[in-house]
Amino acid sequence: MNAAHLTDMVTGLVLQRRPGRAWKLGFALALSLTGLLVASIVVLLARGVGIWGVAMPVAWGFAIANYVWWIGIGMAGTFISAALFLTRQGWRSALNRHAEAMTVFALAVSGLFPVLHLGRPWFAYWLAPYPDRMGLWPQWRSALVWDFFAIGAYVVVSVLYFYTGLIPDLAAVRDRATTRGRQVFYGLLALGWRGEARDWEHHAMLTRLLAALAVPLVFSVHSMVALDFSEGLLPGWHSTIFPPFFVAGALFSGIAMVVALSVPLRRAYGLEDILTDAHVDRLGKLLLAAGWVVTYGYAADIFTAYYGGDRYDIALVEHRMTGAYAWMFWSTIACNSVAIQALWWRRVRRSAAAMLVVSLLVLAGMWLERFMLIATSLYRDYLPSSWGMFHPTAWDIAFLLGSLGLFALLFLVFVRYFPVLSLVELRRQAAESTEGRP
């Protein structure tokens, strides 16, 4: 496919394609779930976090699990687009646009939860250092404050990175738009991009530098999330392996989400020539590798408890494997460590349906893992007198489903109104492959 065809095809998806039945159905469902989320937030603001099942001793519940899960999903988008860009993996150019979009939307959803979990979300700005009348400052030793800076920086940088990549493609849509409204809309978003040599040079330089900044940033962000836990003195949380273990888990769930979005996207838009089986195959290999790192984390956790000999650590491991949440632990292992072994087979990695199933299992497994890590460390305290269970309420479920709805809504709007492939690199690749021919 040459550059002209690519451009016409991708801009045509935005400008000419009428939304299909699947899109309309998905949109209606996503919109109603988002409505549910909005209603739940209103109830939460009116009545407080008591509507959730959080209570002593399990004071962190679904909200924190959702937060960690969503921010982890976001991480893989930056990884695919920035780390694979820096290592010159040309195949990423079929994936990076929707992976970056996934990052931005997952972050938007993720950021809601810690704020809502504050109890009095309208005081969230207290996390920022500013000279106030009370003379108070944030507690800089707290991982929760580090988290605030990490997420804030991550949101801004990933939006800038996503938008910088979009500018030339928005200009391509602008140049092909026929109605006045679209010309103005895409014209404003494209900022008047002309594709002049000097502009390209600045663009390429900024893309490189932002990629170089984004890679350490994503690793630091998810490490901060892990430090929220490992700064606590609870068995199962207070562990030095947490930051790398969380980063691996984030990558794992995020790659699974990229697969889960890529497979339906390429089918709906007929992108099989660009987003080929070879791409899904490579994602499958990445998924398998990340899954093994996560599995190593599980094993190291158990090994360290017995090798260290601390009775509370050993008790925690045994509670996890045989206690009230054992079904969750074993489901996690089944999804995250066992199911992915199918990816050793090339036939599985090349099959869209099989990849979709494995990636959905991994996504479910990673959510269970996040929740299991939170609940099992909390529900059995040092003192048996303070033991207790977590019982999710209908509102917990509503927030989880609502967050899925909001993410789906944002993604559906994106695939409908924005170019889903990064034209710049695909054009260059097309030009180079034609030049190479005899």
Partner 1 sequence: MTDHGRLAQFVDEAALRDGVRRLRAQGYTRIEVFSPYPLDDVPGPVGRTARWMPRIMLGAGLLGGLGMLAVQYLSAAVDYPIDVGGRPAASWPAFVPAAIEVTILFAAVAGFIAFLAGAGLPTLYHPVFEVAWFEEASRDGFLLWLRADDPIWEQRRGEDDVAALQPLRHAEILT
Nearest residue to 270 via CA among 73, 20, 51: 20
Identify which of residues 26 and 77 has a Cβ nearer to partner 1 in the complex: 77
**Nearest distance from residue 153's CB to partner 1, in Å?**
4
> 403-433 in b/e burial notation, b at 16+ Cβ within 10 A?
bbbbbbbbbbebbeebbbbbbbbbbebbeee
**Nearest distance from residue 276's CB to partner 1, in Å?**
21
Q: Whole-angstrom Cα distance, residue 45 to residue 49?
A: 8
Identify which of residues 170 and 280 has a Cβ nearer to partner 1 in the complex: 170
Q: Are 92 and 84 in contact (CB under 8 A)?
A: yes
Q: What are 99-102's contacts with CB under 8 Å, separation 24+?
A: 99/258, 100/158, 100/161, 100/162, 100/165, 101/77, 101/162, 101/411, 101/414, 101/418, 102/73, 102/74, 102/76, 102/77, 102/254, 102/257, 102/258, 102/261, 102/411
**Nearest distance from residue 61's CB to partner 1, in Å?**
26
**Nearest distance from residue 187's CB to partner 1, in Å?**
6
Identify which of residues 187 and 402 has a Cβ nearer to partner 1 in the complex: 187
Identify which of residues 384 and 436 has a Cβ nearer to partner 1 in the complex: 436
Residue holding tokens 């392996």? 241
**Nearest distance from residue 275's CB to partner 1, in Å?**
19
**Nearest distance from residue 346's CB to partner 1, in Å?**
33
Binding stretches for partner 1 (CB under 8 A): 2-4, 7-8, 129, 135-141, 143, 145-146, 149-150, 152-154, 156-157, 160-161, 164, 167-168, 171-172, 174-176, 187-188, 191-206, 209-210, 213, 216-217, 220-221, 224, 227, 423-425, 427-428, 431
Nearest residue to 16 via CA among 7, 29, 25, 3: 7
3-state secondary structure of 53: coil
Identify which of residues 166 and 398 has a Cβ nearer to partner 1 in the complex: 166
Identify which of residues 199 and 381 has a Cβ nearer to partner 1 in the complex: 199
